Structure 1
């Protein structure tokens, strides 16, 4: 293999690792932070969401919510025992999966690495709504809660860049996000756009605020939606705090 190809592969791996660190909402390598799944019961670990539990157990998000009487925004707590319908391996056969998850998140900064009191002031940057539609899942500060907002609309609804920047990731290697686009706006800010149907930009491309970058879809999601995140110094902050009222332009 040539030196150029080795260098290119190394950069690709490094980029994937960076993306994983930016989007992960959990931390800690202690075994006590690792969830367990046995039979029809799943014990929630730090950083879990219903989407992640759905993938681990083979039970749909809708079914988990129904079995446990959980309503949107689907808040769950560490140590909570959830009923699942099964479909995945039991804890005795999932040791490798647990170990892999623990190793992957050991160096990840938690979503509370920048406390809410130190979030940037409103108006520091001008953000545009990434899509038109209904917010069906708001941001949550709870462990395992939604670290962005989910916007629902018809399949094919345009998705726009919330601000000017450079595309740093286009792909679907991160399970749970489907077709994903990430845009770097500065050393402090990155936005993420998940579950897209079609993606209209490429890695390394510069985009303008309001430029169409994708269309809404349901890749790795139960329904058609856009999962949108604003990351400030790798910490997920509440987009609704910084976006203008829907249908209006920012005043900053």
Structure 2
């Protein structure tokens, strides 16, 4: 009898221990699930730009940090680089894996030529009808170009740079982290902004977000310069300008402070203007 009681008591102890273990496991909260970074969606890259009224090929290339010549070639646009509103431009100029599709004529099936039927005697006896006069097709109502700067001649020789404003430098060049792709020059409202070198105006407007009233000057096939946040623009697209010629009035458009934001692009890439401007 004593042995039976000891066996029963031992079984009850084991059952009590098992119940306590199950209760502890059920009350414990599971650890939060870890999300791997590789499962995060990649940052979307803009591959196509739809042209808005007032934009030029130069301003679009400037926005995306592209060489205007490469952008034009990639989209089959020749000089003087006329583009149209609602036109779509491919921006993947640096992606060698994406190639242009072959011309439409290459996809056509070859046509088998058949000998022309010989005219019958009755057909040869009939007089030939008078030749039809080709009518000039009516001009279709095409969308006007967004902007087409004229092809005024560019100055020859090396670019000779000068300061575009008289104020001191407020912020330096730091394109590596994307904070400032040029320099900021202080000044008072209405002070003159001059062309840093001779060239041709290829953009004058407010179409680039963050630049306010902007002027872009093309100096040659390599260099362009930009003048942002102006109060008044005094030049038009296609106009030739001389070095030191006033092109705008200093302002605060697109910013909270009166200043001139000045940039130089070499083959579409921003460079430090202080390495080109003369020492003060």
Distance 1:144 1:207 in 2: 30
Q: Which of 21, 27, 37 is equivalent to 2:61? A: 21
Q: Which of 92, 107, 117 is equivalent to 1:107? A: 92
Distance 2:165 2:93 in 1: 29
TM-score, normalising length: structure 1: 0.53
Distance 2:164 2:90 in 1: 29
Runs of at least 4 residues off by over 6 Å: none
Shift of 1:13: 5.5
Distance 2:279 2:188 in 1: 21
Higher relative contact order (CA 8 A, sep 6+): 1
Are residues 1:219 and 2:253 paired? yes
Counterpart contact for 2:175–2:182, Cα < 8 Å: no
Q: 1:11 to 1:167 in 2, by over 3 A?
A: farther
**Gapped runs of 5+ residues in structure 2?**
1-49, 67-87, 95-157
Please give the secondary structure, in 2, of the residue aligned with 1:196: strand
Shift of 1:196: 0.4
TM-score, normalising length: structure 2: 0.48
Q: Which residue of 1 aligns with 2:195?
A: 161
Shift of 1:16: 3.2
Give the alignment's Cα RMSD to 1 decimal: 2.9
Counterpart contact for 1:21–1:108, Cα < 8 Å: no
Please give the secondary structure, in 2, of the residue aligned with 1:142: helix
Counterpart contact for 1:25–1:147, Cα < 8 Å: no
Distance 1:174 1:104 in 2: 16
Distance 2:198 2:61 in 1: 22
**Gapped runs of 5+ residues in structure 1?**
1-9, 27-102, 110-123, 247-252
Counterpart contact for 1:217–1:226, Cα < 8 Å: yes
Counterpart contact for 2:182–2:262, Cα < 8 Å: yes
Distance 2:218 2:57 in 1: 16
Aligned length: 148
Rg (Cα) greater in structure: 2
Shift of 1:15: 4.6
Query: Structure 2 matches for 1:190-229, cutoff 5 A?
Result: 190-229=224-263
Counterpart contact for 1:167–1:204, Cα < 8 Å: yes
Q: Which residue of 1 aligns with 2:269?
A: 235
